[in-house]
Amino acid sequence: MKFDSETYVVFVAFITAFFGVFLSAGIVLGVPSIAAEFGMNNVEQNWITTIALLAVAVFTLPAGQISGKYGVKKSLIVGMAIFLLASVGACLSISKEMFLIFRALQGIGIGFSNVSSMAMVVQAVKPQNRGKSLGFTVTGVYLAGSLSPVFCGFLVHNFGWRAMFYFVFPFLILCLALMILKIPGEWKSYEENKIDVLGYVLYGIGILAFIYGFTNLMKTNGVICIIIGTILLIAFGVYELKITSPAFNMNLFKNMKFTSSNIAALCSYLAIAAITTILNYHFQYVRGWNAQMSGLILIVTPIIMAIMAPNAGKLSDRIHPQKLAAIGMSIATMTLVILIFLDANTPLYLIVIAMILQGIGMGMFTTPNTNAIMSSVPPNETPNASAAQSAMRTIGQTMSLGLLTLVFAWIMGSLKLSSEYSNMIVQSSQLICIICTIICIVAVFASLVGIKSKDSFNF
C-alpha cells in the first residue's frame, strides 16, 4: 500500500506525540523505584517529572521561531535525536544529579518535537482535514497516556525502571527514519527573520525563575524568584512588541479567540495534570498496591481520552470549537469535585467514575481547543501558534506538578513518601484538588469568553 506525504506527516506527528507523552506519563509509575535507588526525598522525587516539563516550557517558544526559520522538518529531526540521546543517558545514570540532567535534556528534545510536529501537520494538511488530523495527533497523546501506565507499570515491576527507557529506543529511531526517508518537503515561515537571542534569554530565565519560585513559595528565595521571573516575563513581552523579528509574535494575543483558548489551555492543564500523580500516590502509598496494579487502574482515563479526541476533532471542524471545549472542561471539573473527598475509605468504583469523567471532559476539550488556537492565526503564523499552545500545555503541567510539590512540602516537609505517612498524603491530595477545582472553573469561563468574541477563525 502506497501512502501520500500527508499520511506520513500525520503518522510521524502521531508517533512524536505518542512518545513525547509515553515517558512523561509512564515515569510516574517508576518514580518510587527511581527515588529509592537514588535516595531522593519527596521534594526531590517530584522533580523527576517536573524538570522535564520545565525544560519543555523553557524551550517551546524558541522552538517556534527556530523551526519557522530553519524548517519544521529539520527541527523535528533534531528534537527527536536529542530526545533519543538523552534517554540513553538517563539509562546510564549513576546519580540523581546525572539522571535529572538527562531528564532536562529529554524535555528540550520534546519541546522542539512538540512544536515542529504540530506546525508540520497544520502546514502540510489541507484546511478541511485539519481538525481530523489534529485529532489523530492528539489521539497519540492520549493513547500514550492510556498505554504507558500499563506498559510502564509492567516494565517497572518486572524489569526495573530503566526498562521504560529501553522500550522507546526503537520507536524513536523509526520516527527519525520516516522523517528522513518518507517526507521530502520542508516548511519555513520566518526564513528572513533574525533569531531573537535576547528574547530567548528573557523568556527562558523568566519562566525558569517563576516556576522554580512557585515550587518554593514558602521560602524567601522562592518569593524572590517569582518576583524576578515576573519582571523578566513582562520585559520579554514589552521587548517582543518593539522588535521586527520577535521570538514570539505578541500581537497574536489581540485575537480574543487565540487569547481565550490559550488561557483555557493553561488553566486546564494546571488543574488536571496533577491528578495522575495524586491517584498513583493514592494507589501505591495509601492502598499499598504495586506499580503494575496501579498502572492497570490508571489506564481508564487516557483510554477514554483516546476515543474522544478524534471524534471531538471532527466535530470541531463543523461546530464552534470553543463550545465543545467549554462543555468538556465543565465535565472535567466534576472529576476534581469527587476527588476532593479522596481518602483511604473512598470506594474504588467512585474513583473509576471520576477517571471516566476526566477522560470524557478532557477528550472533549483538548482537540477543539487546539483547533481553535491553530485556526485563529494566519497560515504563516502556525509555528508561533503551535509554540503558544505547546507552551500553555507544558507550563500548565509544570505548574500543576509544582503545586503538588509545594503542597506536599508544606504538609510533609522533607519526609520521604511512604505508607507510614498515608494520612499526610491524603491531606495533601485533598487540598490540591480543592485548588485545582477553582482553576478548572476559570478554564470553563475562558472558553465561554472566546465564544462571544467577534474575531473569526482562519478556516
**Residue 202 sits in the same domain as residue 261:** no
**Residue 17 sits in the same domain as residue 127:** yes
**Residue 273 sits in the same domain as residue 396:** yes
**Residue 152 sits in the same domain as residue 50:** yes
**Residue 26 sits in the same domain as residue 53:** yes
| pLDDT per residue rounded down to tens, the chain (459 residues) | 456 667 777 788 888 878 877 877 778 778 888 888 888 877 677 788 878 878 887 887 787 778 777 777 888 888 889 999 998 998 888 888 899 999 999 989 988 887 777 777 776 666 666 666 776 776 777 677 667 777 888 888 888 888 888 888 888 888 888 788 777 777 666 666 677 788 888 988 998 888 888 877 777 888 899 899 999 999 988 998 888 777 777 888 888 888 888 899 899 988 888 888 898 888 888 888 887 788 778 878 878 877 887 777 677 667 777 888 888 899 999 999 999 999 989 999 999 999 999 989 988 888 788 878 877 777 777 767 777 777 788 788 778 878 888 888 888 887 777 778 888 989 999 999 999 999 999 999 888 886 766 655 554
**Residue 60 sits in the same domain as residue 85:** yes
Q: Which of 275, 205, 192 is nearest to 234 (CA)?
A: 205
Spatial separation of the C-alpha atoms in residues 8 and 370, rounded to whole Å: 21
Q: How many domains does the chain have?
A: 2
Go through 336-371 and write b for each residue having 16 or more CB atoms within 10 A of its CB, e for each that does not: bebbeebeeebeeeebeebbbbbbbbbbbbbbbbbb
Q: How many of the other CB atoms lie within 10 Å of CB of 158?
A: 10
Q: Is 458 part of a structural domain of the chain?
A: no
Q: How many of the other CB atoms lie within 10 Å of CB of 403?
A: 22
Spatial separation of the C-alpha atoms in residues 386 and 262, rounded to whole Å: 11
Q: Is 189 part of a structural domain of the chain?
A: no
Longest Cα–Cα distance of the chain, Å, equals 62
The boundaries of the domain holding residue 201 are 196-244
Measured in whole angstroms, how far is the alpha carbon of residue 414 from the centre of its chain?
Answer: 27
**Residue 180 sits in the same domain as residue 276:** yes
**Residue 326 sits in the same domain as residue 392:** yes
Domain boundary among 205, 223, 244: 244
**Residue 328 sits in the same domain as residue 446:** yes
**Residue 236 sits in the same domain as residue 343:** no
**Residue 125 sits in the same domain as residue 268:** yes
